[in-house]
Amino acid sequence: MGPFGHVVTAMVTPFDAGGAVDYAKAAQLARRLIEAGNDGLVVAGTTGESPTLSDEEKIRLFRTVKDAVGDRAKVIAGTGTYDTAHSIHLSQEAARAGCDGLLLVNPYYNRPSQDGLYAHFRAIAESTPLPVMLYNIPGRTAVNCTPDTIARLAEIPNIVAVKEAAGSLDQVSEIRIKTPERFAIYSGDDSLTLPKLAVGAVGVVSVAGHLVAGEIQQMIRAYFAGQVADALRLHRRLFPLFKVLFITTNPVPVKAALRLLGFDCGRPRLPLVDVTPKEEEQIRAVLRSLDLVPTPV
């Protein structure tokens, strides 16, 4: 098992009808997710709509979620930005809030070189005692943190993991070959979790974990127990859900799914907008197929 467990859900940020952060609902959601089988939670990541959260909202969310789950789960603060000094500030505030780790996304928009990525992540890691999970998602950040750079970063004692979302099994294989065994690789894509386990991952930072964390846990544990056919069966069952949660920009579909399950976390903040009626029906159909919502008589 990796340093943050097998299943870590990147938690949505609940908003009230006026668009303000609903901290009471965030605490409720955090407890719900841990009771459902998650080992940890990412707070104020991309799924948590971090680009539209103020520093004050993020820091209060860190504290709120950690207070809600206590020692029952790891709370990982999304503190990475495209500004190293700002990222250091948020990371130090996350430590003061009691968080258990940091998720540091590649700097976005300014597109640093590989040496720039190394210097950025190293500076943040050295500013805090918290364990760090890198987050490599070139589709959102326009820069890929290469396996060679990740291997260099893995030499820093408190950089302990990567959430790998480049969509490449070859890249996961290269990272596994070039990093020590203690360095954990997490899938950043629910639909690729099972194949990534086969080439060296230990778990997933999930969106679907809002809805089916227990079954994702079963899939991962079955794989590591050598019950590959059982793991594949669960992957096939959950695959339509993994895909429908990305029919439009994350976290729009998962917020709609939670609403359909009776746990309304509000609509996303602009510039994101809610699902269309057609998209909502697609999501509802998949939830029905998994018996997560009742089928109409």
Task: Say how far apart CA 194 and CA 219 lie, in whole Å.
Answer: 8
Task: Please give the model's pTM, rounded to 2 decimal places.
Answer: 0.96
Query: Is the pLDDT confidence value at 2 over 90?
Result: no
Q: Give the burial string for 18-33 (b: 16+ CB within 10 Å, else e).
A: eeebbbebbbebbbeb
CB-CB neighbours of 56 under 10 Å = 10
Residue 99: give the domain boundaries.
7-232
Give the model confidence (pLDDT) of 162-197 as tens digits. 999 999 999 999 999 999 999 999 999 999 999 999
Does residue 259 fall inside a structural domain?
no
Give the model confidence (pLDDT) of 99-122 as tens digits. 999 999 999 999 999 999 999 999
Does residue 13 fall inside a structural domain?
yes
Residue 244's pLDDT is: 98
Q: Directed axis angle between helix 84-96 and helix 114-125, to 10°?
A: 30
CB-CB neighbours of 170 under 10 Å = 10
Task: Give mean pLDDT, residues 273-295.
Answer: 94
Q: Are 265 and 48 spatial neighbours (Cβ–Cβ below 8 Å)? A: no
Position of tokens 């998602």? 137
Residue 295's pLDDT is: 66
Alpha carbons within 13 A on the beta-carbon side of 265 = 27
Which distant-in-sequence residues (6+ apart) come within 8 Å of 277 by Cβ? none
Task: Say how far apart CA 181 and CA 5 lie, in whole Å.
Answer: 15
Please name which of 140, 86, 149 lies closest in space to residue 119, comparing C-alpha atoms. 149
Give alpha helix (H) positions in 38-146: 55-69, 84-96, 114-125, 138-141
Does residue 279 fall inside a structural domain?
no
Instruction: Place 296 in a pLDDT band, splitting at 50, 70 and 90.
Output: low
Q: What's the token pair of residue 210?
A: 């809002």
Using the 8-state DSSP alphabet, how is residue 168 labeled?
-
Give the model confidence (pLDDT) of 255-267 as tens digits. 999 999 999 999 9
Does residue 21 fall inside a structural domain?
yes
Does residue 287 fall inside a structural domain?
no
Task: Give mean pLDDT, residues 83-90.
Answer: 98
Query: Is the pLDDT confidence value at 149 over 90?
Result: yes
Q: Is the peptide bond before 268 cis (omega within 30 degrees of 0)?
A: no
Q: Is 16 exposed, middle or buried (0-12, 13-18, 19+ CB in 10 A)?
A: middle
Does residue 82 fall inside a structural domain?
yes
Q: Which residues are catalytic?
A: 135, 163
Does residue 95 fall inside a structural domain?
yes
Using the 8-state DSSP alphabet, how is residue 261 labeled?
T
Instruction: Please report, for the domain that includes residue 178, its CATH number.
Output: 3.20.20.70
Total count of domains within the chain = 1
Q: What's the token pair of residue 255?
A: 């917020």
CB-CB neighbours of 77 under 10 Å = 30
Give the model confidence (pLDDT) of 190-223 as tens digits. 999 999 999 999 999 999 999 999 999 999 999 9
Give alpha helix (H) positions in 200-251: 209-224, 228-244
Q: What's the token pair of residue 162?
A: 């990567």
Does residue 251 fall inside a structural domain?
no
Query: Is the pLDDT confidence value at 297 over 70?
Result: no
For the chain, where are the E strands, in sequence order? 7-10, 40-43, 74-78, 101-105, 132-136, 159-164, 184-187, 203-206
